[in-house]
Amino acid sequence: MKLPPDTPLESLDWVARPKLAALRRLGIATPGDLVRHFPRRHEDRTKFDRFPDGESDRAICLCGVVRKTVARRFGPRRIFEARVEDESAGVLGSPLLCRWFNSPWISRMIVGDDRIVLFGKPRMRGTQVVMEHPEFEIIEDEAGSSIHFDRITPVHPAGDGISPTALRELVHRALAETDLSALPLLWPDAEADPRVWSDVHFPENLAALEAALARLVQEEFFAIQLVVRARRASVRRAGGIPRPGTGVLWSAVRDSLGFALTPSQLEAMSEISTDLAAPRRMNRLLQGDVGSGKTLVALRAMLQAAESGWQAALMAPTQILAEQHYRNFRNLLDPLGIRVALRTSSLCESSSGPPDSAPIIVGTHALLYDGAEFQNPGLIVIDEQHKFGVLQRSRLIARADAPDVLVMTATPIPRTIAQTLYGDLDVSLIRHRPPGRGRVVTAVRDPAKLPDIIAFLRKKIADGRQAYIVYPLVDESEKLEIKSARAEFDRWRELLAPAAVGLVHGRLPADEKAEVMCRFRDGRISALVATTVIEVGVDVPNACIMLIEEAARFGLSQIHQLRGRIGRGAEKSYCILLQESPEAHEKLSVLEATSDGFEIAEADLRIRGPGDILGTNQSGLPPLALGDLVRDAEIMSEARRRADALLETDPGLARPAHAPHRALVDASTSLQAGN
């Protein structure tokens, strides 16, 4: 009799008691969990790499014998070294030195004559080839080691109290004992072949491994899509309030604009307008590059909600931005007698009358939590969504008063990520910026060119132009940040004297920040030394130079955002990226070549991986065990199509065959509600 996959591990005699807690920390409580605890990677232990005679940027996998170990101290550092020899090379082979710092427990794990498998990058230290802190595994006993050695061997994510070797044994046992046909496979119409589970851990050959991986990536992605698409479907099914408006207010605003709307803007407006008018909740993402004119699209939606008798609020991530939107809106709406209120944590004003009855409200995200003015919410617009957590968004959608929601982002998001992170939203895209803007020329330069660059800056400033000088945060710590900001500021003040130079950084109190920004906007400051606080939204058309120091520390998309601050007037603008290393030059050259934010985002995704793109760690992306958002992009799109098709044919997932699908969606919903 095979075990049901959800048997508690406690009840099995082949799981050592002391391991249970360590397993639980890895989220493993049943044999089914063990089977789904996928390897981080595999090592082909039938043929190892040759012992290296130089550096390598690729990690290599070696097998050798430990010849000699030494533990010593070097000042405060404790060093453990093991000299490992290639058995097959005999006296001709040169040994490899493995080295660990401050890891005294390693010396108890590695002893002479051990057979050892190593995984790491060889480095040259003087004339010696060294691996520092390699992953390693001692090969215990050859007879019983068939799952560890002489095969394609899985390396599982391990943890405190449990080694990859121990996990490998447990997974192997679980595969043998568990009724694998009882593990649900969700991808529609796929052949249910339980062999996929053993192949993903212990494949006979690489082809079998690849086939199993491809199949299980489908499963992984389909599970994500089923959850987000089911969420979208349920919001749509729940209905909502139609807010058709009359179009009167918007036509008045539109007629007062000195320019024509772009086709992209018009298309987005019409999609949003249709959503608002429909008797279901809008839950939409508006993506458009910096300067593509998203604010007017938002304003049109807000006026439509207002015309229908509701309040509409636009929320910005910072006070500076909120005030800027407020000013812009007042310029457009005051002449028409439409009231606008501003509400940030420190400010509350309105164009006339009490703020709580203004149909149009502008504020910071604080408004969401404590917005007495916002009594009758019909539409909530979130500007710069990427500064706003995924969790906050799901709270917003869960609000009982069920306002329509429009989130906007100027960070073009690669398609696979958008499908994952924003899979529950409908998406409108503004692909092109309005015509007639000054061109932005981007150039990557070596810091050796700085004298020329400074001369150029001085000349532009003498001509009345303004410049941003952006540098990366050197350190997260408050003291160091302020210190380095000051140092930069003093340096630039000297270099650009007598021009007025201002400083903004993240640690400046909000009112001082606003004050400096004000003076920059009014032209009383010629150059602004800044950290990324200027990243979003700030609009100073006369600023036409941006110098970015140590540019490679920023992501490509982030730089693209930054340079969106220039090129806002008719003037030709210059974005200069200072960078020393030639490899970094190559990476940055994407920015010289294109100004298409989506192209840049895709390049960023390839270079840096998904975690970094939306701001470190807070991406809100589910951790992926197998799939890769770059490599497997097509599978994600297909998973989405199939999830939609499934939800179309069986909206409630009520059919018996869809019980596992239903269970997955229910589990994710209760997880969300628990938040």
Could you say whether residue 115 binds ligand ADP (CB under 6 A)?
no
For 154-159, the CB contacts below 8 A with 24+ separation are 154/39, 154/42, 154/201, 154/202, 155/39, 155/40, 155/41, 155/42, 155/43, 155/119, 156/37, 156/38, 156/39, 156/40, 157/26, 157/37, 157/40, 158/26, 159/22, 159/25, 159/26
9: left (phi over 0), alpha (psi -120 to 50) or beta: alpha
CB of 637 to ligand ADP, least distance (A): 26
Dihedral sign (CA 362, 612, 550, 596): negative
Dihedral sign (CA 105, 111, 116, 118): positive
Q: Where does this chain touch ligand ADP (CB under 6 A) — which range of 41-49, 146-154, 236-244, 257-265?
A: 257-265
Site string for ligand ADP, 391-410 (x = CB under 6 A): -------------------x
| 149 φ, ψ (degrees, to nearest 5) | -140, 160
CB of 546 to ligand ADP, least distance (A): 15
Give the one entry of ligand ADP, Mg ion, none that residue 434 binds, where binding means its C-beta sits below a cut-off of 5 to 8 angstroms depending on kind.
Answer: ligand ADP
C-alpha span between 387 and 406 (Å, rounded):
14
**77 CB neighbour count, 10 Å cutoff:** 9
CB of 51 to ligand ADP, least distance (A): 55
Site string for ligand ADP, 642-671 (x = CB under 6 A): ------------------------------
Q: Where does this chain touch ligand ADP (CB under 6 A) — which range of 234-242, 261-269, 468-476, 575-583?
A: 261-269
CB of 674 to ligand ADP, least distance (A): 35
Which is closer to ligand ADP, CB of 248 or CB of 570? Answer: 570
* Contact set for ligand ADP, span 185-244 (CB under 6 A): none
Q: Which residue is nearest to Mg ion (CB)?
A: 537
- Residue of 37, 11, 12 whose CA lies nearest to 23: 37
Site string for ligand ADP, 533-562 (x = CB under 6 A): ------x-----------------------
Give the one entry of ligand ADP, Mg ion, none that residue 296 binds, where binding means its C-beta sits below a cut-off of 5 to 8 angstroms depending on kind.
Answer: ligand ADP
**Exactly one of 262, 311, 411, 416 binds ligand ADP (CB under 6 A); which one?**
262
CB of 61 to ligand ADP, least distance (A): 48
Which is closer to ligand ADP, CB of 183 or CB of 321? Answer: 321
Could you say whether residue 434 binds ligand ADP (CB under 6 A)?
yes
Give the one entry of ligand ADP, Mg ion, none that residue 261 binds, where binding means its C-beta sits below a cut-off of 5 to 8 angstroms depending on kind.
Answer: ligand ADP
Could you tell me the two tokens for 139? Answer: 């090969």
Could you tell me the two tokens for 431? Answer: 């692909």
**Exactly one of 60, 211, 261, 396 binds ligand ADP (CB under 6 A); which one?**
261
Which is closer to ligand ADP, CB of 265 or CB of 573? Answer: 265
Tell me if residue 536 falls in helix, strand or coil.
coil
C-alpha span between 58 and 216 (Å, rounded):
26
Burial of residue 615 (CB within 10 Å: 0-12, 13-18, 19+) is middle
- Per-position DSSP letters for 207-242, written without gaps between them: HHHHHHHHHHHHHHHHHHHHHHHHHHHHHHHT----
CB of 412 to ligand ADP, least distance (A): 11
The site that binds ligand ADP (CB under 6 A) totals a number of residues, namely: 15
543-548 vs 573-578, strand pairing mode:
parallel
CB of 329 to ligand ADP, least distance (A): 11
C-alpha span between 333 and 341 (Å, rounded):
11
Q: What is the CA radius of gyration of the chain?
A: 30
Could you say whether residue 573 binds ligand ADP (CB under 6 A)?
no
C-alpha span between 443 and 576 (Å, rounded):
5
- Tell me, what amino acid is at 352? S
- Residue of 104, 137, 97, 101 whose CA lies nearest to 119: 137
CB of 383 to Mg ion, least distance (A): 6
Which is closer to ligand ADP, CB of 290 or CB of 591? Answer: 290
CB of 542 to ligand ADP, least distance (A): 13
| 25 φ, ψ (degrees, to nearest 5) | -60, -25
In the chain, the N- to C-terminal Cα span, in Å, equals 40
Site string for Mg ion, 516-555 (x = CB under 5 A): ---------------------x------------------
Give the one entry of ligand ADP, Mg ion, none that residue 288 binds, where binding means its C-beta sits below a cut-off of 5 to 8 angstroms depending on kind.
Answer: ligand ADP
Could you tell me the two tokens for 50? Answer: 């040759």
Which is closer to Mg ion, CB of 359 or CB of 537? Answer: 537
DSSP 8-state assignment for residue 113: T
Site string for ligand ADP, 286-325 (x = CB under 6 A): --x-xxxxxxx-----------------------------
CB of 568 to Mg ion, least distance (A): 11
Burial of residue 204 (CB within 10 Å: 0-12, 13-18, 19+) is exposed
If you search the block for the tokens 């019409």, which residue do you land on? 270
DSSP count for the chain of H helices, then E strands = 21, 23
In the complex, the residues that contact ligand ADP under the rule CB under 6 A are: 259, 261-262, 265, 288, 290-296, 410, 434, 539
In the complex, the residues that contact Mg ion under the rule CB under 5 A are: 537
